[in-house]
């Protein structure tokens, strides 16, 4: 009988030795030490023994149970320690590794130019006006002294929504809204940046959507010299100190006289280079003195007041300033392009 105890003990110790995981070990525990386990089975067998043999047998079974329990507990501790070590290894966190960089969006170059222009005019006491991109023919053309048969009204240039409604072709529409709103009261000093639309085929220098900033000053004795001083100040702020500007005669229906404005080339300082095509000058905007008829239509007395106005294309300024040679870059949202304006990179 005691051989059987030895046999059970040996096979239990062997099974413990073989157990590779805590699960294996638990199975061994149930098999040998459980309520219906083999060691408990030995206890049951004691009942069948003669009285005098019972104490010795009982002691042996108990000794076997203690030995198996002790070895099993030791093995359990070993396996638990190994499992914890494996878990720690798998979840290893290297706190010295650099963190993931959070990618911030970048300021769009056109917004950068817009803000620069807004800042410089706010500093001169101008207010900033805003208005609708879906505009009435009346403000875009009629009040701007653009008669019905003017080529600028051609369907090819304008996105019409219905005969009286269109996508504004220039921010001059806002000049008209502001003049009308002032009801003949001066002074007026404002800029209006915003999107404008034309039925152009997109290429390196044309875009059916682009941005302009309109400027308008109306008051007593406002002269062409005021316009020139203002624009020269703007050119210096946008393109660096030392810029000069020149006026060339031009035509816009809403100004008289009208001028095209050139800035001395910031790349060659006016000596002539490939950007200014050797001329030393780069055209940047259109401007003029507000046409007396426009003042009149909007309720101002051209005998008592006068005004100047200008309209500058923001893409053109940005292209010159940042050396961009394709206007489509502003609208295709290629992150490689936009990232070049990342001030935090
Ligand atoms: N509206 C003109 C354009 O889109 C630009 C312009 C020229 C605006 C002369 C003005 C101005 O206010 O006086 O080409």
pLDDT band at 152 (very low <50, low <70, confident <90, very high): low
- Per-residue pLDDT for 237 more than 90? yes
Count of residues in the chain: 345
Pairing relationship of beta strands 165-167 and 255-264 according to DSSP bridges: unpaired
DSSP string, 85-102: HHHHHHT---TTSPPPPP
pLDDT of residue 150: 83
Where does 132-279 have alpha helices with state H?
Answer: 137, 172-182, 224-239
Give me ligand 1 centre to Cα 169, in Å.
10
Q: Is 141 in the pocket of ligand 1 (CB under 6 A)?
A: no
- Per-residue pLDDT for 6 more than 80? yes
Nearest CA to ligand 1 atom 8: 311
pLDDT of residue 345: 52
What CA–CA distance (Å, rounded) separates 282 from 263?
5
Cβ atoms of 287 and 255 within 8 Å: the answer is yes
What CA–CA distance (Å, rounded) separates 256 from 291?
5
Cβ atoms of 227 and 261 within 8 Å: the answer is no
Q: Is 308 in the pocket of ligand 1 (CB under 6 A)?
A: no
Give me ligand 1 centre to Cα 56, in Å.
117
3-state secondary structure 16-63: HHHCCCHHHHHHHHHHHHCCCCHHHHHHHHHCCCCHHHHHHHHHHHHH
Which of 303, 295, 311, 261 lies closest to 188, judged by CA? 295
Q: Is 311 in the pocket of ligand 1 (CB under 6 A)?
A: yes
What CA–CA distance (Å, rounded) separates 15 from 171?
89
User: Any idea which residue has 């304006």 for tokens?
Assistant: 341
199-236 pLDDT per residue, tens: 999 999 899 999 999 999 999 999 999 999 999 999 99
Termini Cα distance of the chain: 83
pLDDT of residue 92: 87
Nearest CA to ligand 1 atom 3: 170
- Nearest-5° angle of CA 149, CA 153, CA 157? 145
Q: Is 255 in the pocket of ligand 1 (CB under 6 A)?
A: yes
pTM of structure? 0.72
Atom of ligand 1 nearest to the CA of 290: 13
- Per-residue pLDDT for 301 more than 70? yes
**Residue 31 neighbours by CB under 8 Å, 6+ apart:** 15, 37, 38
Give me ligand 1 centre to Cα 254, in Å.
8
Give me ligand 1 centre to Cα 286, in Å.
5
Nearest CA to ligand 1 atom 5: 311
Mutating to test ligand 1, I would choose from 126, 145, 170, 199 the residue with most ligand atoms within 8 A of its C-beta, which is 170
Mean pLDDT of the chain: 92
Mutating to test ligand 1, I would choose from 198, 287, 313 the residue with most ligand atoms within 8 A of its C-beta, which is 287
Nearest CA to ligand 1 atom 4: 170
Give me ligand 1 centre to Cα 313, in Å.
9
pLDDT of residue 344: 62
How large is the angle between the packed helices 109-122 and 224-239, nearest 10 degrees? Answer: 130
- Per-residue pLDDT for 242 more than 70? yes
Average pLDDT over residues 31-48: 88
Give me ligand 1 centre to Cα 99, in Å.
51
Nearest CA to ligand 1 atom 9: 287
């Amino acid at each position: 009988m005691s051989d059987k105890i030895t046999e059970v003990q040996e096979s239990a110790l062997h099974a413990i030795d073989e157990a590779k995981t805590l699960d294996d070990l638990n199975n061994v525990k149930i098999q040998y030490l459980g309520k219906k386990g083999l060691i408990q089975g030995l206890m049951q067998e004691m009942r069948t023994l003669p009285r005098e043999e019972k104490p010795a047998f009982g002691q042996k079974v108990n000794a076997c149970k203690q030995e198996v329990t002790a070895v099993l507990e030791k093995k359990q501790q070993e396996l638990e320690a190994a499992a914890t070590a494996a878990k720690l290894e798998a979840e290893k966190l290297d706190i010295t590794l650099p963190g993931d960089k959070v990618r911030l969006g970048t300021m769009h170059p056109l917004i950068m130019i817009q803000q620069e222009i807004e800042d410089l005019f706010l500093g001169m006491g101008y207010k900033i006006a805003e208005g609708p991109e879906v505009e009435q023919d009346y403000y875009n053309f009629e009040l701007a002294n653009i008669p019905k048969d003017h080529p600028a009204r051609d369907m090819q240039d304008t996105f019409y929504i219905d005969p009286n409604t269109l996508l504004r072709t220039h921010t001059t529409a806002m000049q008209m809204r502001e003049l009308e709103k002032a009801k003949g009261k001066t002074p007026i000093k404002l800029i209006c940046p915003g999107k404008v639309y034309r039925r152009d085929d997109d290429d390196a220098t044309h875009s059916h959507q682009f941005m302009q900033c309109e400027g308008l000053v109306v008051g007593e004795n406002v002269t062409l010299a005021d316009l020139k001083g203002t624009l020269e100040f703007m050119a210096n702020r946008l393109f660096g100190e030392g810029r000069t500007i020149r006026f060339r005669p031009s035509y816009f229906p809403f100004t008289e006289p009208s001028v095209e404005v050139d800035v001395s080339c910031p790349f060659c300082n006016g000596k002539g280079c490939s950007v200014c095509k050797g001329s030393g000058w780069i055209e940047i905007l259109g401007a003029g003195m507000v046409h007396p008829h426009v003042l009149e239509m909007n309720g101002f007395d051209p005998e008592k007041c006068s005004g100047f106005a200008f309209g500058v294309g923001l893409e053109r300024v940005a292209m010159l300033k940042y050396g961009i040679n394709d206007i489509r870059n502003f609208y295709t949202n290629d992150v490689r392009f936009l990232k070049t304006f990342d001030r935090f990179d």
